[in-house]
């Protein structure tokens, strides 16, 4: 993506896409804005952010393991909800159940991923960080689903 015309040529459009740190493509996502590497593997004109659950930050603090999932496999068959749909205690319950069931694609040290996030921020200024559980917990639209 290069440019979004907002009409009149006055200002370029801007877009930030967010990914959760449990996504199996998180390490590739962190590389997209970097200045080195093959151009076809970069999307430098976009902005990137992470939608971070509290569980990830606790595992970073405790030097725990972090499991990465494919979103197509990271859901509850009974409810139809995926990790992307839940937050707080419901997220933690589903995430740990998926881990226990062996649904993950890869397991890494949470701090390893955290340091890669920090490296990307130092090099590119992104990803932005938005804390999923706090944002949802303080939302005035919780009743809307």
Sequential DSSP letters for 34-49: -SSS-GGG--TTSEEE
∠91-68-142 over CA atoms, to 5°?
A: 25
CA-closest candidate to residue 31, choices 129, 126, 132: 126
Cα distance between residue 24 and residue 44, in whole Å = 21
pTM of the full structure: 0.85
72-98 pLDDT tens trace? 999 999 999 999 999 999 999 999 999
User: Collapsing DSSP states into helix, strand and coil, what is residue 140?
Assistant: coil
39-57 pLDDT tens trace? 655 565 678 999 999 999 9
88-100 vs 54-61: helix crossing angle, rounded to 10: 60
Radius of gyration for the alpha carbons in the chain, expressed in angstroms and rounded: 17
pLDDT of 3 reads: 55
pLDDT of 15 reads: 80
Per-domain boundaries in the chain: 16-144
């Amino acid at each position: 993506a290069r440019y979004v015309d907002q009409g009149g040529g006055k200002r370029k459009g801007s877009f930030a896409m967010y990914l959760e740190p449990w996504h199996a493509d998180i390490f590739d996502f962190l590389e997209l804005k970097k200045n080195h590497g093959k151009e076809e593997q970069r999307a430098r004109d976009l902005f990137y952010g992470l939608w971070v659950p509290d569980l990830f930050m606790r595992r970073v603090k405790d030097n725990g393991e972090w499991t990465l999932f494919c979103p197509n496999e990271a859901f509850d068959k009974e409810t139809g909800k995926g990790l992307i749909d839940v937050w707080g205690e419901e997220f933690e319950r589903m995430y740990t159940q998926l881990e226990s069931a062996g649904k993950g694609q890869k397991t890494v040290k949470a701090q390893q991923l955290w340091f890669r996030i920090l490296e990307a921020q130092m090099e590119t200024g992104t990803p932005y960080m938005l804390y999923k559980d706090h944002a949802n917990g303080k939302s005035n639209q919780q009743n809307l689903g």
